[in-house]
A and B are shown apart, each in its own frame.
Chain A
Amino acid sequence: MNEITIGLSREDLPNSYIGRSVPRPSVAKLVEGRATYTDDVALPRTLHAAFLRSPHAHARFTVRDTEAALRVPGVVRVFTGHDLAALCTPWVATLEHLKGMKSAPQRPLPLDRATWQGEAVVAVLADTRAAAEDGALALDVEWEALPAQTDMETALKPGAVVIHPELGDNLAFRRTATHGDVDAAFATAHRVVEARFVTGRHTGVTLEGRSILADFNRADGTLTVHHATQAPHMIQEVLAQHLGLPAGKVRVVCKDVGGSFGIKVHVYPDEMAVAAMSVALARPVKFVADRFESFSSDIHARDHRILARIAVAEDGTIIGFDVDDLTGIGPYSVYPRTSAVEGNQVVNLCGGPYRFEHYRCTTTVVLQNKAATCQYRAVGHPIATAVTEGLVDLAAEALGMDPLELRRRNLIADDAYPTTSPAGMRFEGLSHHASLDKLLSMVPLDRIRADQAEARARGVFRGLGFASFIELTNPSPFMYGIGGARISAQDGCTVRMDPDGSVVAASGVTEQGQGTEAILAQIVAHGVGVSVGKVRVVTGDTLATPYGGGTWACRGAGIGGEAALQGALALKAQILEVAGAMLQARPEALDVVMGEVVDRATGTPRMPLGELGRILYFRGDTLPKDLPRELVQTRHYITKEYPFAFTNGIQASWVEVDTDTGMVTLLEHWCVEDCGRIINPLLVDEQVKGGIVQGIGGALYEHCLYDEQGNLLTTTMADYLVPMAAEMPEMHVGHVETPTRESLLGAKGAGEAGTAGAPAAVMNAINDALRPLGARVTEQPFTPARILAALGRI
């Protein structure tokens, strides 16, 4: 597995954990029912918040009377937007480096106008959630419905409802990337193939709803916020800034988180309201979004319409891509990451796996009266990959060429790195061809093609689809920091040894189930030279961990892991210095293996770390006076050479389409991924599989449906369909390892690859199945109705 040694403890030592499938320690508590999610935290005198939410997509409102609500037994206080305006300053979610971007000021609760159905407008606090809901229903609010701008296609046209008149129009952001001469190249190309792609607006459906418990202590001026978040330090900054508190007085604690996927990396107005209300009352205030609130007020994503063309030469060489992307992001850009990033990613990523000369991609990001969209797992990637890989398959069809052959001819050569894509992305080292080879060693291509032909003869239509992809990870400050957002791209880890020889690592990255804590423990165990069971990891507490960015964009392993590795190596050096003094040996002649100081050359045990700890901490009088005593080391890490790391891979999907019913059966799915250094193959595979299924969700099921008035139709889990066990395919995951040279660890990140490529693979598989019938689908989700329509059956 790990062919490249990375200069740590010798790779065959028992505590060489990097590259090993160590079971995740925290699963044990999960199967005991002993995790601690935010809603499990109970504080005395807690008030529970419920919100009256706008029933209209766009409306003026007046809170006429709160008395009836206050008379509901258990209700304690009602807060309107005006009440909170005095407690919390508004925010505008733009980034300076996204040129021309605009959005409107947003407040915890709006003053007099709601701009999407589900926007919280009044808060009610009570001693139970049920009573708070009763109170919210008893509020007397007068609504004056306004015309709503729901269709993104008309958002910039004359007659559009301008959602924020002070902005002048509904254009939030537009960017075009160009390379070469697209018009000339397309005019003379052998073939130009075009298609219209749609990705359905969908959402994260974390099983744990957004959760916050804010507790302001007036006595010492501290605000402690238990929060289901991916980015505790970012939330700390935001709360401090907008509530007028010193950042040092705000502590964000994040224990177990019931899924995030990007949903929990944003600032939500209702959560800001909760924190503000806690400050106002100096009492704990809790809010847990219920499922209806989640569907209507969690961020949505992927609401894109893309018109795209590919130009190819007669021999299959890709000449260029020409892409026009339109996306509707709701009424406000989401703070502080902004809602322009998804469209921007589409511009950065289209055509990504391929070598070609001519590129033009425009994203147009418009406001509309629907729930806000923002970064959700694999931001922009599933869209760019569907467009790219959909076009590649269409080009192959137009040329009468095997789609795999067309990919082989055009995928960037594995020895071509470093290289820069026409979109301007710098690739340090990718492995498209090795990944394709690996995939073909896993996919029984001959059997499948024979099966496909045999099935077609029986009138059964099966298809095999492929999707190469790239994935952007390990972002530098070029993603947010240079735009002015206080979102840290660096991360830190403090590693210490306690008297019993056990090790504690405190990290700024966070755990939402990916296994962040598990891999940090492995890295630290590996780096220090102890058994992984001796390492405890602390994450998710701004008071107890080094400052960091948290977990998003697959940065946990690549950034947080490298900081942990450097911290662990520094601690080990420190241990060896102390051991050298104790044992009267040169530190270089010693090593730490499985919790014992040993002779490096012979492996002879010299002293257990517990004994070293005993002497250092309790009998320091016996040691040389000038011996450093700090068995604690902190290291921070930031990428330096590349704005982003990139991973790559390829997926294959094998499906059967019932051409009578339009139902798609997923038969099997494969993914080869190159995430750089693999720290724990078991966890990487699980990230990939979970990601694939999330991608399949968007491809086949998930859709936030609105009617023309902006009413959300999919507000229950019976209406918004997520992937379930019975329909999901068996998946096979393979790897190629191209470590990044930016870090000693070499990890690039693995959390989003599955989601990035799966929809395109499924789309291409469906279209491979439908090809003999002359039908094609490019609009996600690929519902029975759409497939039947494509087949001309309805």
Chain B
Amino acid sequence: MKWPATSYRRASSLGDVWQAFAEGGAGVQLLAGGQTLLATLAFRLSEPALLLDITRIPTLRGIALHGGALRIGALTTHAGLGRDPLVARHAPLLAQAVPLIAHPAIRNRGTIGGSLANADPAAELPACAVALEATLVLASAQGERRVPAGEFFTGLLSTALRPGELILAVEVPIGRGGSITEIARRSGDYAMCGLALVGARPVFFGVGDGPVLARGAGAALARGDVEAACAALDTDLDPPTDMHGPPAMKRHLARVLLRRAAAPRQEQAA
């Protein structure tokens, strides 16, 4: 369908954003890359009164080292993430995730802030953020606050973002390696099941209502017991049925991914 009637304004500073929120409240929809939002308008799933374009706000841009962490501005596109030398060096997991996200034209416009705020349960970056123990820097007219990624995702398509608040940046602890793997029907599809694994933090995506940190499996991994980690997924995960298959399939795929992701490390250790 065509998008519903709405209005558009470009914000050039955070001050513009706070003012728009003050005036428009819940009718204000932030527009960054728009790669998910605008599709939902085409489904007429949401009818925002105002699309507030935040893409020209300088403070939401940039990637820089910042006190032992890599601070990634919310407007960083997936493509930008994929080619940034600092990301490649200090947060390689994010660079690894980029080719798994949709397709080139989407990656040119979609942003990390948008992906995190949208919190699609099958998206790669929310899982990476949780696995990396990243911190989200949120801002509102009342000031800034910092929320660990593990506490940011609160349910299906929902986050700790409060009304009137936006994501300024993501801060990722540097020097963590990790790997990301997923099983998708076709290249660029949302994953049937995916795993971001950093140390002993396995975070699954596509198997719950958000990124799922598998705590039991992580504990077993910390002991070096991959089979116990796989077994623990039976309780760690509670996947829904979707069009791809039943919960049993998702659990099975999660075990396959965990075994595959953990195996190279075991080989290395041996």
**Any A–B CB pair closer than 8 Å:** yes
Q: A726 vs B102: C-alpha distance in the bound complex, in angstroms? A: 12
CB-contact partner of A784 in B44, B188, B245, under 8 A: B245
Hey, what's the 0/1 contact readout for B173-210 against A, CB within 8 Å counting as 1?
00000000001011111101000000000000000000
- Pull 6 A–B residue pairs with CB atoms less than 8 Å apart, ordered by A: A662-B249, A705-B243, A713-B243, A727-B186, A784-B192, A794-B246
Knowing A713-B243, A727-B187 are in contact, say whether A788-B2 is a contact too (CB < 8 A). Answer: no
In the assembled complex, A79 has its CB within 8 A of some CB on chain B:
no
Hey, what's the 0/1 contact readout for A693-724 against B, CB within 8 Å counting as 1?
00000000100010000000110101101001
Q: Which residues of A contact B3 (CB under 8 A)?
A: 130
Q: Count chain B CB atoms within 10 A of each CB in A724, A783, A794 and give the residue with the most.
A: A794
B residues within 8 Å of A by Cβ?
1-5, 43-44, 183, 185-190, 192, 243-246, 248-249, 252-253, 256
Q: A134-B5, A721-B189, A788-B245 are in contact. List 6 more A-B contacts (CB 8 A).
A: A130-B2, A133-B1, A705-B243, A724-B187, A726-B188, A785-B245
Q: Which residues of A contact B2 (CB under 8 A)?
A: 129-130, 133
CB-contact partner of A724 in B4, B186, B243, under 8 A: B186
Q: A724 vs B3: C-alpha distance in the bound complex, in angstroms? A: 27
Knowing A660-B256, A784-B192 are in contact, say whether A794-B186 is a contact too (CB < 8 A). Answer: no
Closest B residue by C-beta to A661: B183
Q: Which residues of B contact A663 (CB under 8 A)?
A: 183, 185
Closest A residue by C-beta to B3: A130
Q: Which residues of B contact A744 (CB under 8 A)?
A: none
What is the interface size of chain A, counting residues whose CB is below 8 A from a CB of the partner?
28
Hey, what's the 0/1 contact readout for A674-700 against B, CB within 8 Å counting as 1?
000000000000000000000000000
Asked if A726 contacts B185 (CB within 8 A), the reply is: no
Q: Which residues of B contact A724 (CB under 8 A)?
A: 186-188
In the assembled complex, A137 has its CB within 8 A of some CB on chain B:
yes
CB-contact partner of A718 in B190, B245, B248, under 8 A: B190
Q: A784 vs B192: C-alpha distance in the bound complex, in angstroms? A: 10
Closest A residue by C-beta to B185: A721
In the assembled complex, A793 has its CB within 8 A of some CB on chain B:
yes
Q: How far is the CB of A745 from chain B (nearest CB, A)?
A: 40
Q: A785 vs B2: C-alpha distance in the bound complex, in angstroms? A: 35
Closest B residue by C-beta to A701: B185
Asked if A788 contacts B249 (CB within 8 A), the reply is: yes
Q: How far is the CB of B10 from chain A (nearest CB, A)?
A: 22
Closest A residue by C-beta to B244: A785
Asked if A661 contacts B253 (CB within 8 A), the reply is: yes
Knowing A129-B2, A290-B1, A661-B253 are in contact, say whether A721-B245 is a contact too (CB < 8 A). Answer: no
A-B contact count (CB 8 A): 62
Closest A residue by C-beta to B247: A794
In the assembled complex, A292 has its CB within 8 A of some CB on chain B:
yes
Q: How far is the CB of A387 from chain B (nearest CB, A)?
A: 25
Closest A residue by C-beta to B255: A660
Q: A663 vs B188: C-alpha distance in the bound complex, in angstroms? A: 15
Q: Which residues of A contact B185 (CB under 8 A)?
A: 663, 701, 721, 783-784
Interface SS of A by simple majority: loop
Asked if B252 contacts A793 (CB within 8 A), the reply is: yes
Q: How far is the CB of A408 from chain B (nearest CB, A)?
A: 37
Q: Which residues of B contact A290 (CB under 8 A)?
A: 1
Asked if B187 contacts A726 (CB within 8 A), the reply is: yes
Closest B residue by C-beta to A786: B245
Q: How far is the CB of B111 from chain A (nearest CB, A)?
A: 19
CB-contact partner of A783 in B1, B188, B245, B256, under 8 A: B245
Q: How far is the CB of B112 from chain A (nearest CB, A)?
A: 21
Asked if B243 contacts A784 (CB within 8 A), the reply is: no
Q: How far is the CB of B110 from chain A (nearest CB, A)?
A: 14
Q: Which residues of A contact B4 (CB under 8 A)?
A: 134
Closest B residue by C-beta to A662: B249
Q: A775 vs B4: C-alpha distance in the bound complex, in angstroms? A: 50
CB-contact partner of B249 in A705, A716, A721, A784, under 8 A: A784
Asked if A701 contacts B256 (CB within 8 A), the reply is: no
Q: Which residues of B contact A701 (CB under 8 A)?
A: 185-186
Q: Which residues of B contact A788 (CB under 8 A)?
A: 245, 249, 252
Q: A794 vs B4: C-alpha distance in the bound complex, in angstroms? A: 43
Asked if A721 contacts B186 (CB within 8 A), the reply is: yes
Q: How far is the CB of A454 from chain B (nearest CB, A)?
A: 22
Q: Which residues of A contact B244 (CB under 8 A)?
A: 783-785
Q: How far is the CB of A712 from chain B (nearest CB, A)?
A: 11
Q: Which residues of B contact A793 (CB under 8 A)?
A: 252
Asked if B183 contacts A784 (CB within 8 A), the reply is: yes
Asked if B245 contacts A794 (CB within 8 A), the reply is: yes
Q: How far is the CB of A729 from chain B (nearest CB, A)?
A: 14
Give residues of chain A (753-794) contacting chain B, Cβ–Cβ below 8 Å.
783-785, 788, 793-794
Q: Which residues of B contact A719 (CB under 8 A)?
A: 243
Q: A783 vs B249: C-alpha distance in the bound complex, in angstroms? A: 11
Q: A663 vs B187: C-alpha distance in the bound complex, in angstroms? A: 12
Q: A137 vs B45: C-alpha distance in the bound complex, in angstroms? A: 13
Q: A661 vs B183: C-alpha distance in the bound complex, in angstroms? A: 8
Asked if B187 contacts A794 (CB within 8 A), the reply is: no
Q: How far is the CB of A288 from chain B (nearest CB, A)?
A: 11
Q: A726 vs B184: C-alpha distance in the bound complex, in angstroms? A: 12
Asked if A137 contacts B44 (CB within 8 A), the reply is: yes
Q: How far is the CB of B77 from chain A (nearest CB, A)?
A: 20
Closest A residue by C-beta to B193: A661
Q: Which residues of B contact A292 (CB under 8 A)?
A: 1, 43
Q: A623 vs B113: C-alpha distance in the bound complex, in angstroms? A: 82
Knowing A133-B1, A784-B192, A785-B244 are in contact, say whether A661-B186 is a contact too (CB < 8 A). Answer: no
Q: How far is the CB of A176 from chain B (nearest CB, A)?
A: 36
Q: Which residues of A contact B190 (CB under 8 A)?
A: 718
Closest A residue by C-beta to B190: A718
Q: A794 vs B2: C-alpha distance in the bound complex, in angstroms? A: 42
Q: How far is the CB of A18 from chain B (nearest CB, A)?
A: 40
CB-contact partner of A785 in B5, B186, B187, B246, under 8 A: B246
Q: Which residues of A contact B1 (CB under 8 A)?
A: 133, 290, 292
Give residues of chain A (554-589) contacting chain B, Cβ–Cβ below 8 Å.
none
Q: How far is the CB of B31 from chain A (nearest CB, A)?
A: 19
Give residues of chain A (644-666) contacting chain B, Cβ–Cβ below 8 Å.
660-663
Closest B residue by C-beta to A715: B43
Q: A254 vs B246: C-alpha distance in the bound complex, in angstroms? A: 45
Q: Which residues of B contact A716 (CB under 8 A)?
A: 43
Closest B residue by C-beta to A73: B5
Closest A residue by C-beta to B253: A661
Q: A739 vs B243: C-alpha distance in the bound complex, in angstroms? A: 46
Closest B residue by C-beta to A50: B1
Q: A794 vs B253: C-alpha distance in the bound complex, in angstroms? A: 10
Q: How far is the CB of A663 from chain B (nearest CB, A)?
A: 7
Q: Which residues of B contact A129 (CB under 8 A)?
A: 2
Ranked nearest first, the 5 interchain pairs of A and B with the lowest CB-CB distance are A785-B245, A130-B2, A726-B187, A794-B248, A660-B256
Q: A533 vs B33: C-alpha distance in the bound complex, in angstroms? A: 47
Q: How far is the CB of B241 from chain A (nearest CB, A)?
A: 10
Q: A414 vs B252: C-alpha distance in the bound complex, in angstroms? A: 50
Q: Which residues of A contact B243 (CB under 8 A)?
A: 705, 713-714, 719
Q: Which residues of A contact B192 (CB under 8 A)?
A: 784
